[in-house]
A and B are shown apart, each in its own frame.
Chain A
Amino acid sequence: MSKNHKAAPMVDEVSEFEVLELAVRELAIEKGLFTQEDHNAWTEYMHTLGPVPAARLVAKAWLDPEYKKLCIEDGPKASLEVGIDWVNQMPTKFGTPSDYCNLRVMADSPNVKHVVVCTLCSCYPRPILGQSPEWYRTPNYRRRLVRWPRQVLAEFGLQLSEEVEVRVVDSNQKTRYIVMPERPEGTEGWTEDQLTEIVTRDCLIGVALPKPGKTSNDKRYVRPAVNPYGH
C-alpha cells in the first residue's frame, strides 16, 4: 500500500432499508405512535436476547418427559420455566407484528427431522432465540430450503438418510418455531448444564444436530479467493 493512500471508510453510505427505517421511525415518533424512549427500551431489550434459554428448554425436555410434553403442547408456558415470558418480558407487554407470543416446539423423532424457515420475511422466535443469523434472512436460504431442503441441509454439513422424513416448517403466520432435536448418544448421565451447552442455535433452527463436544455453531465453508487481496 502506498504512503499516499488515505484510509476510506469501508462502508460509506447507509442502505436504502436503513434510510427507510429511519424515516418511518422518525415519522412514527413525530405522530406520537411511540416515543424515542419506547424505541430505546425496545432496542435495549432486543440486545439482551440470545439462544441460551431455548437450549436450556431442550436440555430440560431431554431429562424430563413431562416437561417435553408441555413444550410440545404449550410453548409459551414451557418457556416460563427457562425464564422467558413471551408476553410480559417484551417492553410492549403484548408482542409486536413480528414478535407474536406463540411458540411451537417441534420435537424431532428418529424418523422425523424438522427445519425452520420463513419464506415470507424472516420470522424468528427472537424472545427465546435472540437475533436471527444473517443467512437465515437471505432470499437464498428462504427460497431454496422449502424446495430443496436436503441439498440446503447438506450445504450446512447435515446429510440425512433416506429413512428420515425431512419436515420443513414455514413460519408464515403468528407461530414461531424452535426445533427440539433428538438427544445424541454419548450424553448419558449428563447434567442439564452440560446438555444445554451442546444445543447450539443451529440445532434449534434445525440445520445441525447436537453432538458431544460441539458447543458452537458450525463454521461455514468459505471458498478461498482466486485472487486474494495482496497476492
Chain B
Amino acid sequence: MSKPHYDLEHHAKKATGIGDPQCFKGEAGKAKFKVGDKVKVRDISDLFYTRTPMYTRGLEATVVRLVYESPPAEDEAWDNTENVEWMYSVLFKQKDLWPEYSDTFSQDTLETEIPEHGLEPA
C-alpha cells in the first residue's frame, strides 16, 4: 500500500480567511438535483462515519435548497477533501418518517441536509 498523500494542513490553509464550506465553492460541478425535485435517501453503508441520519434512509423528500458545496462528511472524517459535492437541504413529511405520527398534524415536516451521493431520484 502506498502512503496516504494528504497534506494535513491543506484544509485549514485553504479555508483560512474564507471559511468552511465557502472554500469549496465552485468545485462540485453541475448539481444533479434542483429545487423542487423529488429525491430518495439512499440506504448506503454507515460503516466508519456518516452524518445522514438513519431515520431518513430509504425515504422520499423534496429538495428545498442547494445549500453549499463540500466534501461529504464521510470523506472529510478521513481527511479526504478530493470529492466535493453539492449539499441539499431536503424536506420530509413527518408522516413518512414516523408511521405513528398523528394524522391531525399531517402537515408537519422535517428539514435536513444530505450530500449528493446520499440521494437518488425518487
Residues of A at the B interface (CB closer than 8 Å) are 76, 86-88, 92-95, 100-102, 104, 119-120, 146-147, 149-150, 162, 165-175
What are 14 contact pairs spanning A and B, CB under 8 A? A92-B12, A93-B16, A94-B15, A102-B21, A150-B102, A165-B108, A166-B108, A167-B109, A169-B110, A172-B51, A172-B53, A172-B113, A173-B70, A174-B21
In the complex, which range does the number of interface residues on chain B fall in? 35 or more
A150 vs B110: C-alpha distance when bound (angstroms): 12
Taking CB atoms, residues of chain A closer than 8 Å to B113 are 172-175
Taking CB atoms, residues of chain A closer than 8 Å to B97 are 146-147
B window 71-122: CB within 8 A of A: 73, 87, 89, 91, 94, 97-98, 101-102, 104-105, 107-115
Chain B contact residues, majority secondary structure: mixed
In the complex, the chain A residue whose C-beta lies closest to that of B51 is A172
A169 vs B112: C-alpha distance when bound (angstroms): 6
Taking CB atoms, residues of chain B closer than 8 Å to A146 are 55, 97, 110
Other CB < 8 Å A-B pairs besides A165-B107, A172-B52, 19 of them? A87-B22, A92-B16, A94-B12, A94-B15, A100-B20, A102-B21, A146-B97, A146-B110, A147-B55, A147-B98, A150-B105, A162-B104, A165-B108, A168-B94, A169-B111, A170-B112, A172-B51, A174-B68, A174-B87
